[in-house]
A and B are shown apart, each in its own frame.
Chain A
Amino acid sequence: MSPYNLHARFKAQYDANNQEFSISGVVRPQAIDELGPSLALLRDAIGRVRGVLYVNVRRLAQMNNAAFYAFSRIIIDACRARPDLKFVVITSSVVGWTSRKFGRLSGIEPNITVEEYDSEFYPGQGFLEEGGFVPILRTQTKMTWRHERAILPRHGMRPGIVMADICCGIGDFAVLVQKEFQPSRIVALDHSISSLDYARRVMREFDIRGIEYTYGDASEMLLDEEQFDLVTCRHSLQIFNRPELILKELYRICKPGGRVYITNEKNSHCLGEPRAESIRWTYNEVAKLFAHFEMDVELGPKSRRYLIEAGFDDIRVETFTVTNLDGDVQDFADVIVAWADVYAGEMATKRGDGAEFVARFRQGFQDHIFAALHPKGYAGWPIWVASGRRPQ
């Protein structure tokens, strides 16, 4: 759909189970009559609910004042007519104006509260996003880049394309791509403000141009549809509890004929010699630990299925293994140390694991490091790469 297609530019829905009225898209009517069915739906929803009505405007990209007044009027009138009823308006921190504009309503009627949907997106990811993990993310990208720079051209990467890197984290992949492949434009999106601050700082310090970092929720992006030749999303589907929602968005913003490129792990396949058994046990436990927090770090081999189910064709899948024989072996060891700190530290504690389990869990990471640093040892971290083409 062209960004200027005015047909069906917004959608209003009512979900009776959740007592939730939602409106999304671009709502810029000339006359209120154009909103008739949507306003009737809201009135009808108000008539049906008890207790609380949720008004979800998270995916509302634009709404002019005429429409805002029309919807607000109904809500304010309902507050006055039914003091028993509360309204919770759910805005998104991604859409800058919504919290400010709808936030005013709570100053008019105390029964209206406004909640900004933000840090609660994906609760488990907090472990992986805070500032302390940045150095290790950089090292991980350095290790995988040695492989991906050769792999990417097989999945649609070439000079001059317009690309998006969704869940870009600290932006190091986007920078490497910019230097190596010179796409004409990169839009890099993440919902971690601290990661984006870091990425922008790097961009300024190294005078990097051609990358636009933007704050957003990968499952509900403000980006227009069909605008990118290549959309990358690395190591991220595996830490979302509903990866199919992200893929739907990646598909939406990809041009017909363009490709979506994803990388994911299968953590239980991390390996090492010597001490293979201990290593295998620990990484099997890593998979279970992430599953406890609704993240699937075994997703790698499932990539093909996910891409097919999202509507892609011409699906290409390959794997590579980062090993202690690539580059600096200490990098490999440093990454394992960081994994051990987070997985056997904060995450295990939060799950409530006992000391005995944690000790054995940590031992596997130490054995993986031992294998990596051993003069005759071998240690590996396998990654699944997959891409699909959006049909023309």
Chain B
Amino acid sequence: MGSVHDPVGEPTFEPMIQIDMEIKTFVSAWKHCDYVSTYIARMISQNRSDSVRHSNLFSSAFNELLEVAFRTRHADGELACRVSRYGATDRIELTFPCMPEERQFYEEAVLQVVGFEAKERYLNSVSGDLAPSREVVLLELAVDYNAALRVEEADGDAITLVVDLPLEGLQH
């Protein structure tokens, strides 16, 4: 696994762990979201100031992203979960198959999670009658976990969701 390259001006995140799976295998069982989020959370939290709390928080956030990828229901392609770290921030890079129209959806959704309206938008979604959407999942990561999100293009019909989680700062 190589080092993580960031746009100019960003710090270099050090790679910690990566799991690759055939998307077909991943979507064959819902419990894979729980397995992967729990396993990775434990592995990367060992040297955090409070490993148990960090692992719980990380798993909670990461599981939501995996559930988003799961619900894309693509039959072909790869799922790649990579976690890297810079100081108090853990970065999740989740690459999964995605059609062009879906990519546009994610790009728009990520734009919605920034700004002070994000919290209001999130509250409206919780109080509304509609079932939770993928957009709301991303909103919640920004509102409740102070996550920064962006979308990156990946090879083929795939995208990468990049989510920076400053969970050390959320302790207590």
Known contacts A97-B57, A104-B123; A212/B131 CB under 8 A:
no
Specify which chain A residues have a CB less than 8 angstroms from the CB of B154 in the assembled complex: none
Total A-B contacts with CB atoms under 8 angstroms apart: 96
A64:B131 contact, CB within 8 angstroms:
no
Q: Flag if A107 contacts B34 (CB, 8 Å).
A: no
Quick check: which of B2-10, B47-55, B95-103, B107-115 contacts chain A, the rest being far away? B47-55
* Cβ contact within 8 Å between B144 and A105: no
Q: Which residues of A contact B145 (CB under 8 A)?
A: 97, 100
Contact status B64-A64, CB under 8 Å: yes
Kindly supply a per-residue 1/0 record for chain B positions 19-48, scoring 1 wherever the CB is within 8 Å of any chain A CB and 0 otherwise. 000000000001101110010000000100
Q: Whole-angstrom distance from the CB of A44 to the nearest CB of chain B? A: 22
Q: Which interface class (under 10, 10 to 19, 20 to 34, 35 or more) fits B?
A: 35 or more
Query: Contact: A93 with B172, CB < 8 Å?
Result: yes
A336 contacts across to B, CB distance below 8 A = none
State which size class the interface on A falls in: 35 or more
Q: Say yes or no: A65-B140 contact (C-beta < 8 A), given A6-B31, A96-B171.
A: yes
Complex Cα spacing A213 to B52, Å = 9
In the complex the two chains form, what is the Cα distance from A24 to B170 in whole Å?
22
State whether A216 and B34 are in contact (beta carbons under 8 Å apart), knowing that A72-B126, A96-B57, A97-B57 are contacts in the complex. Answer: no
Pick the contact of A101 from B31, B127, B144, B167 — CB < 8 Å? B144
Least CB distance, A79 to chain B, in whole angstroms: 10
- Complex contacts, B33 vs chain A, CB 8 Å: 28
Which applies to chain B's interface (DSSP): helix, strand, loop or mixed? Answer: helix
A310 within 8 A of B: no
The digit string for A22-48, where 1 denotes a CB below 8 A from any CB of B, is: 000010101000000000000000000
Complex: A65 Cα to B61 Cα, angstroms: 10
B60 contacts chain A at the CB level, 8 A cutoff:
yes
For B12, list chain A residues within 8 Å (CB): none
CB neighbours of B56 from chain A (8 A): 61-62, 95-97, 222
Contact partners of A215 in chain B: CB under 8 A: 50, 52-53, 171-172
Contacting residue for A213 out of B50, B60, B140, CB 8 A: B50
Contact (Cβ within 8 A) A222 B53: yes
Instruction: Please state if A64 and B35 are interface contacts (CB–CB under 8 Å).
Output: no
Distance A66 CA – B30 CA, assembled complex (angstroms):
13
Contact B34 A28 (CB under 8 A): yes
Tell me whether A158 is interfacial, beta carbon within 8 Å.
Answer: no
A216 to B172, CA, bound (A): 11
Q: Mark A160-201, 1 if CB is under 8 A from B, else 0.
A: 000000000000000000000000000101000100100010
A214 to B136, CA, bound (A): 31
Is there contact, CB below 8 Å, between B144 and A64? Answer: no
- Interface pair A62/B57, CB less than 8 Å apart: no
Contacts of B46 in A (CB 8 A): 212
Query: Could you name 24 residue pairs across A and B whose Cβ atoms are closer than 8 Å?
Result: A4-B38, A6-B34, A28-B34, A28-B63, A30-B30, A62-B56, A64-B63, A65-B132, A66-B67, A69-B132, A94-B53, A96-B170, A97-B61, A97-B144, A100-B170, A104-B122, A108-B127, A200-B49, A212-B51, A212-B52, A213-B49, A215-B52, A215-B53, A222-B53
Q: Which residues of B contact A (CB under 8 A)?
A: 30-31, 33-35, 38, 46, 49-53, 56-57, 59-61, 63-64, 67, 122-123, 126-127, 131-132, 136-137, 140, 143-145, 167, 170-172
